[in-house]
Amino acid sequence: MRGRRVRRVVLLTNGPGELWGWVRPLAAELGGRGWRVSLRLLPCQFASGAEGRAAASLGLSAKGPESAPATALALWRERRGEPPDAVVQLGGDLMWGRMLSRRRAPLFCYSYGPKRGLEACAAVYTAFPAMARAMTRQGVSPVVAGDLAADLIPTSVPTIEGRGPSKAPCVAFFPGSRPGIRDYAIPLIERTASTLRELVPSLEARVLLSPFDGEEDGERLRALGLAPSPGGLPGSLDGVDFAVTQPGTNTLELMHRAVPFLVAVPFSSLRHVPLPGLAGALSRLPLVGAALRAAALRSRWRSTGFTAWPNRLAGRQVVDEMIGDVTPGDIAARVAEHLGDPVRLAETRRSLSLISSEAPRGAAARMADHIERTLA
């Protein structure tokens, strides 16, 4: 008697946040249900360069990333072979998903907001009702599955109340997962932490490296007198009273862990931020490229509303944001101000927990259930 055919899914993803926060729980859920999971890394200007190594640490064999022409050729060849039962895109331009799935397999997409091509998907999933409302204006009806990034976070988190006045305050710093930004962020963190220790002598400073950072980054931090710790793992935020980070998916992780934080974007760091499309090409021109990049990014940041996800979801400032011509001293002073106000910290924790509760838990299982029902 022949056994039931094993279903195959191709997961498409691009950057470090999507791989670690989205692919990790969904691949584990589908694999646990007997699916054969294939992973392809897409071209991405925000990639860290270590996505393949990180995928291998999750037990996933990844293809790519390659240049855009090479990726298109690879997907064309794959489409001519045995079709997968489903294609799920988690980040990146949906043209890649449409290219692979066209007339061969249904395309599913997970996104935090509107993007081109959603109307071509068999189903669209998102994390929060507020995200779904923004996407309905594009003519799609997303399934609010919950936040994949929350699936691997402990359901119970320590609260700041009851820690006791004798506990040394602990501040976590996130240097980021992209080499260019990290090279700028590490000296900035060192200067900020040094100034902060003058203001808060009992401070414990913790620098959380991402799974995409290398051992050389830990060595650089130790040489600067900073203690690196592995981030992105259960327990990495235990005992943290406050965090300093950059815009990105880690603002959601901090929110789900109810850790008050500050988003810092000094304009002096903008030359390290990659730009997509034509703007990115112009920014690489000799002599004038750096100036064009800085001008474009300054204009973008000034016209952008909130950058931290809790603020964007709530439509108001829940956590602090410092964007502009700020210095390490400015950041340190602001952090010390927060640490010196336990009532404000407790209120921020409560607000973060409330916003987090708007996303259903168990996103990966809910997505897998819906995909299987759709295919049935």
What is the CATH number for 130? 3.40.50.2000
Lowest-confidence pick of 102-111, 155-164, 283-292, 350-359: 155-164
Coil/strand/helix, residue 42: coil
Q: Is residue 165 part of a domain?
A: no
Q: Is residue 3 part of a domain?
A: no
Question: Contact, 333 vs 264, CB < 8 A?
Answer: no
Coil/strand/helix, residue 234: coil
Q: Which two tokens stand for residue 142?
A: 């997303």
Domain co-membership, 112 together with 218: no
What total number of domains does the chain contain?
2
DSSP lists the bridge partners of residue 165 as none
Q: State the Cα–Cα distance between residues 248 and 251, nearest whole angstrom.
A: 6
pLDDT tops 90 at residue 104: no
Domain co-membership, 324 together with 274: yes
Question: Contact, 221 vs 228, CB < 8 A?
Answer: yes
Domain co-membership, 197 together with 320: yes
Domain co-membership, 127 together with 233: no
pLDDT at residue 163 in the model: 45
To which residue do tokens 């190594």 refer? 53
Question: Contact, 20 vs 232, CB < 8 A?
Answer: yes
Q: Please give the model's pTM, rounded to 2 decimal places.
A: 0.85
Coil/strand/helix, residue 125: strand
pLDDT tops 90 at residue 110: yes
Domain co-membership, 144 together with 206: no
By residue range, what is the domain housing residue 202? 170-356
To which residue do tokens 């340190």 refer? 332
pLDDT at residue 158 in the model: 46
**Average pLDDT of the residues in 296-300:** 57
pLDDT tops 70 at residue 278: no
Q: State the Cα–Cα distance between residues 93 and 98, nearest whole angstrom.
A: 9
Tell me what the pLDDT averaged over the chain comes to.
85
Residues contacting residue 333 through CB under 8 Å, at least 6 positions apart: 195, 199
Domain co-membership, 336 together with 369: no
Domain co-membership, 339 together with 368: no
Q: State the Cα–Cα distance between residues 205 and 240, nearest whole angstrom.
A: 9
DSSP state of 143: E
Q: Which two tokens stand for residue 248?
A: 């990105």
